[in-house]
Structure 1
């Protein structure tokens, strides 16, 4: 009897330990679902979950990679501009070490723009349109879809981490602060010709100088500001284009996607900063990213 009692006691302890582990895992999963509602709904509709269910599809890996690029881009920009330096330096190093090059975003945006043209106009495109798309998408030596092959085995945990990091980035208003700083510098440089023209008013009474003001030259954006507009243009083209192709908010998405696809490869202007901010706010207003997840 004693051996049987000992075995029963051991079995009870093992069962108790297993129950505790299951309860702990259940609590952890609950916290994950609360932090990422879209994934919560996905898993809530799944009766059984295997390890393969938690792996991401190729398309999901692509979007995870692009989100990593977004985080690396803005933390690096914040570091360079002195925005939240105590945080930006460490985060720029963290995300920069895992993010693909930004050319991947431009390549993905050009691909979505091409698919959008085929969707709205048919497979035939003009050589001018194709040349513009090629110019807007720098060449990359990565895999055919533009993603580094070492990142193809990703899972839901990666999405959870990216979601939390993205929410933190937005809560701290890092992207808007960076764009605001770049726009301010660009505006100050654009004002210089106007200031010089006003100074020239003092010379209008001088017969030797004539009675006209010199034409103001077109001032290109500083390199950093132009690069930011190009980055945001690619991002907006990709997000709105994916939404339009998926039939999400079709009227708004198609209009926005065509607008930003048409701007790819074109010279940036100061007023583009305002357009970028407006379009990003609309993305958030319509919940485009979450709706894209629901479509899977």
Structure 2
């Protein structure tokens, strides 16, 4: 009987490792698409965006002064029209370089993912040559990684949570709002590169193996998870709930989004087993294979810069 349970546990672990390895190709594709979009904006996005914002502000001040002068003294119509055209052009360029609030939320959660898994690497002695520095860097940007993601997943269970409605910002996780910042496209590219590195180093599989090896067989049934493993499953369940909520709200994969969201909302509330661990890994693979993150990015960019986004989409079709 004990042999059968151990065999089942080993098969579950192997399945989790196999699914984790499948993420590499999907992560590469996502990174290539994002890099292409960022490259189209040019180098030094964050600095250029700040400069454009300052220039736009200066133009607006001059426009206001000319408007007053035109009203009081007449004339300056052509110059005023030219300034308005230039200001609008700058405004469009700035929008392309700056993340909206929902995109910044995604950056925050991805920093949390990186902070959590590099911290676990330090705890379990994985990639010891780089884990310490990576953990220190990402944890400085996401000091409450577990709490933030769990709270985001909990909030995502609320059907009233509409990320595209500015009036609903009060419903967002408190810690998430406090961590918002770095609102340039480069920050999204940076976290995606970080996630790609994590996957290429097969950190998730190494951690799954380390956790399973440290579990005490005499204290737990083979199919039950240790507290560390259960915490990891809960973290990933919250992650999946968050992204499927966004997918449903934005009409991404409409034929399955509601069903997937309901599935992840209904998870939890009972002791977790190795089957739950396999479910979340399969869920993460599905998220990647369907390109949910990429689709959400395109939807978000479409609202920010419709003409440029449609142009890029047409170019990608060929």
TM-score (norm 1): 0.63
How far, CA to CA, are the matches of 2:289 and 2:160 in structure 1?
Answer: 22
Q: Is the 8 A contact 1:234 1:264 kept in 2?
A: no
What is the CA distance between 1:221 and its match in structure 2?
A: 3.0
SS of equivalent residue, structure 1 residue 176: helix
Distance in 2 between the 1:35 and 1:144 partners?
27
In the alignment, structure 1 residue 114 sits paired with structure 2 residue 158: yes
Q: In the alignment, is the contact (CA less than 8 A) between 2:152 and 2:176 conserved in 1?
A: no
| Residue aligning to 2:5 | none
Tell me how far 1:185 sits from its aligned partner.
4.0
Q: Is the 8 A contact 1:38 1:294 kept in 2?
A: no
Structure 1 unaligned spans of 5+ = 1-33, 119-142, 195-218
What are the superposed Cα offsets for residues 225-262 of structure 1, whole Å, 9 maximum, x if unpaired?
11111111111111222212222222333222211111
Secondary structure, in 3 states, of the residue corresponding to 1:221? coil
- Tell me, yes or no, if structure 1 residue 189 matches structure 2 residue 217: yes
Partner of 2:189: 160
Equivalent residue of 1:154, what SS?
A: coil
Number of residue-to-residue matches in the alignment: 215
Work out which of the residue numbers 95, 113, 127 in structure 2 matches 1:70: 113
Q: How does 1:13-92 map to 2 (within 5 A)?
A: 36-38=32-34, 40-41=36-37, 50-92=93-135
| Structure 1 residue 53, shift from structure 2 partner | 3.7
184 and 271 in structure 1: CA distance in 2 versus 1, 3 angstrom threshold: farther
Q: Per chain length, whose mean CA-contact separation is higher, i.e. which structure has more relative contact order (CA < 8 Å, sep 6+)?
A: 2
What CA distance in whole angstroms lies between the structure 1 residues aligned with 2:275 and 2:218? Answer: 11
Partner of 1:95: 138
Q: Which runs of 5+ in 2 are unaligned?
A: 1-29, 42-88, 163-171, 301-318
Q: Higher helix share goes to which structure?
A: 2
Q: Which residue of 1 aligns with 2:62?
A: none
Distance in 2, matches of 1:240 and 1:190, equals 38
Distance 1:272 1:85 in 2: 29
- Please identify the structure whose Cα radius of gyration is greater: 1
Say what the alpha-carbon RMSD is for the aligned residues.
3.3
Work out which of the residue numbers 281, 289, 293 in structure 1 matches 2:293.
289
